[in-house]
Structure 1
Amino acid sequence: MIIGVVSDTHMPRAAGKLPSKLAQAFRGVDLILHLGDWVTMEVYDQLSALAPVDGVAGNNDGMDIVSRFGKKKVLTLEGFRIGLVHGHEPVSRLATPEKALRAFEKEQVQCVLFGHSHQPYHLVQNGVLLFNPGSPTDKRREQKYSFGLLQISNGALTARHIFYDHKK
């Protein structure tokens, strides 16, 4: 199973449409997960033209997105429990990865996917894969735009970033 992982699209302010690099990579994946800050449901429409879509809402999303997706969820995919959260709550001095991990501290998850910081992140901590795909449209201070691919194959869960220079 191959899963496209994206966050912080901030559309239409950051881009009018999904970058072609992302659209090309997500065409034909089994599932796309958006980790918040969609900003409009137009992002869902564009993504769902590529593959089935699920996700969570972020701090820049309106009630239409919050009510549709919620702010936190756990999906079980091919036996792996995967936590999805944007990563902005609770407001504290903790770094975004730590906030995301704490959101699932009372649940048995093998992976936590999160966004919010726009910073690509990939680390296994205490047996839990922590993964932030970065942003495909709003890289802020990062050198490159990015998104991710999560693969579940032969009982293993792996993630990787796709980096690129232009959001066209």
Structure 2
Amino acid sequence: MRIGVISDTHGLLRPEALEALAGVEHILHAGDVGGIEILERLRTVAPVTAIRGNVDGFGPCAQLPETEVAELGGQTIYMLHDALALDLNPEAAGFAAVVSGHSHQPKMEWRKGVLFFNPGSAGPRRFSLPISVGFLTIENGAMTPELKTLG
């Protein structure tokens, strides 16, 4: 199973992000959506699981959950916008991965067998940080992360 991971679109869904996500079986949006139309467009590619970020305080995006648990490909993934707000032990909870956004910095790191994954920002450029999306491939019970820089 190939999962697309996107975050911090802030109301801008770049054509190259949509192109990169083509063919995935599911999309995780880790918050700061910036407008419900972003999720509607992503749903034309694959089913979407989304959470709200700190800029999603009004309109339909305010109704998104603050955290979410996605069970995909036999793996359990915990989603929250800001990894610094993590208030549980993902290893003890049985999560294979923690997906977050907020920092706009792409990052993948394994801690005690749990993948901490931030796809970076796919929306407006912030400082000199890259525009990026991520992917999680689940095969034979193993999860492989990948980051893709779009610009």
TM-score by length of 2: 0.90
Superposition deviation, residue 142 in structure 1: 3.6
Superposition deviation, residue 58 in structure 1: 0.5
State the Cα RMSD in Å. 1.6
Residue of structure 1 equivalent to 2:35: 40
Superposition deviation, residue 63 in structure 1: 5.2
In the alignment, is residue 151 of structure 1 matched against residue 151 of structure 2?
no
Residue of structure 2 equivalent to 1:24: 19
Which of 81, 99, 115 is matched with 2:76 structurally? 81
In the alignment, is residue 116 of structure 1 matched against residue 112 of structure 2?
no
**Secondary structure of the structure 2 residue equivalent to 1:5:** strand
Structure 2: how far apart are the matches of 1:103 and 1:5? 22
- Which stretch of the first structure deviates more once superposed, 37-46 or 142-151? 142-151
**Secondary structure of the structure 2 residue equivalent to 1:104:** coil
Residue of structure 1 equivalent to 2:62: 66
Residue of structure 2 equivalent to 1:92: none
- Asked if the contact 1:38/1:57 (under 8 Å) is kept, the reply is yes
How many correspondences in the alignment?
A: 148
Structure 2: how far apart are the matches of 1:4 and 1:57? 17
Residue of structure 2 equivalent to 1:141: 127
Structure 2: how far apart are the matches of 1:158 and 1:142? 27
Superposition deviation, residue 55 in structure 1: 1.3
- Asked if the contact 2:105/2:129 (under 8 Å) is kept, the reply is no
Which of 85, 98, 115 is matched with 1:129 structurally? 115
